[in-house]
Structure 1
């Protein structure tokens, strides 16, 4: 079998503004959000009528009615309808994992061009019926005689009509991600004030970047808004300090202000070879170097959102790099406490030895290089879209000139984490 060894490039990125759930996009479907982000990418990069080798799109809060969501979204765009597409899901790292899948297909020569992305919306939330009501409907559907229908009807009750909403709790602990992160914050002794400072920096950096025009070609106007509706340019440390704990009302430190909000949105990234870029008249923004996924046993003591420490450690070891070799760090802010726990773990000799198997701590990240244009607390976190947002942002930062390398780190539900390395062209 002949296998290529292509270098893979980020050629473009496009997303719609993110918005707090049940607000701006309250009446917009997940498909409409995803198609809008795709169309932005297509028009920006002159892909109308072009064949795309493959498209990987993800959605956590998907519905069985959208079982072929990715392909249906592609068919709604101006791409060549012969372009295939498929659905994926790896919790909050879904679209980063999609980027890696598409990159590997390009690397091996299976395709020349590919799109990775994701969408999530808690406004177009899939609601399931109860198990009892589902069985009742199936029995009624299968009943062929009057007697069979009457027998099925005899099993009906008022309680069975209560809908069952999709849960965001961990099935093995029955705890939410915020509750798990509260445990991490206590274990690592993360102060409330430090969390609020991370949140404040996210908002101020994001607002400054928007004002400077950084996002002008990354975020396309949609549904009447032009920037992320969760961004608070006017917040300050005093306002953040007044917010009450969200997950532990007695001794908690996580609040609505230092946690990412439930968000609606979609994001995309275009990947390809150098020859594909030349054919399209595009200039590569950054090179995809490596990606790593990892997991922790959070049921038996590990912090639910600590897996990025392992993913990053494995990436650095394999590529013989240290934190000093990076110019930018895009650390997904599910919660400010989660970011600070990860940073503290990398600095801990005991943790790095016992958990990561290292002889010495990885070290400290230069905080002036972290999330320099805002991150999930300020921009929002539509679960499956965040990886594409972060990667597109980092690619543009590296394309700005003078900088050579960036690191992405994303924590996910289920005790997983995914990290990636990009380099300038």
Structure 2
């Protein structure tokens, strides 16, 4: 049975799963509390997921942002015949244009979206397994389609089984820095660029300047207080909308930055550059022992801003994670010029628009077409320049 047929004829399919797939059942949970124990158990053990799929990160988002946006938890858990969890898809369902759409929790604040996979299952997963997963989700009947954005093709050298579903390249790429363990510092950042940054660092006033990772609650709160004062001013200066003013977003960021993980650390780590008189720059992101992924940043409004404090702090962050044995670092989705100073590769990411009902088929087709059109504009300099000018005129 093909994947398309599995989704179209989900009722007739139910008794067929166990013959073709290890997935014997799919549960849908609409309560974070009821999903928490299984979710945390998957995090602890032999699973593959990005740090954006940690319970502490997504629960903070769902309770403070998702709820404001009208999204309800739609957590799909696939089990084998012995009720062992094979995968957990941390989704949230919202209604748009008369269609119930399930997407990954985290919204625009999650750079990468992925299920939590049992690694052994993911390594051997095939189309029959994904057909069973989709049919199991469809059987519950409360979602018309899945809109699954910004998924990595692989994570820590393991295939992403959802790439077996119909998919397309995401609108934007994600610049990536690959770091070889034990490599010379110049392999990450050239010696000439380091000298330039060192010269700028000496001009920051007053000296001395220090960079560090915030670890104490009071320190984290102080840095966030500074960030939420400065970031709106920076975004207004760039004539950009302040996404941090959206309902619940500041509360989500504060909760995730203060959330303590079981193995130590925080759901979001804050790196800061400061001197005796002021905070000069901060970068915040998620880390998992293998990769650091930047979420948000800003820098001072004082005269120190002209000495590229963000680039100086980024150098220190890269060296910090290289010394800790990390293998990769990314600066988030998008093609900002400063990202290319450090990140020479791209992370392949994809979107999937999967119809689960007849009503969802048209919506999935429209969303897919819109994504392709946006990508075409973003990757065509002439079209992108026209779009930017039009956006500016409308503002």
| TM-score, normalised relative to structure 1 | 0.27
| TM-score, normalised relative to structure 2 | 0.29
Compare the two structures and name the one with the higher strand fraction: 2
Larger relative contact order, structure 1 or 2 (CA cutoff 8 Å, min sep 6)? 1
Compare the two structures and name the one with the higher helix fraction: 2
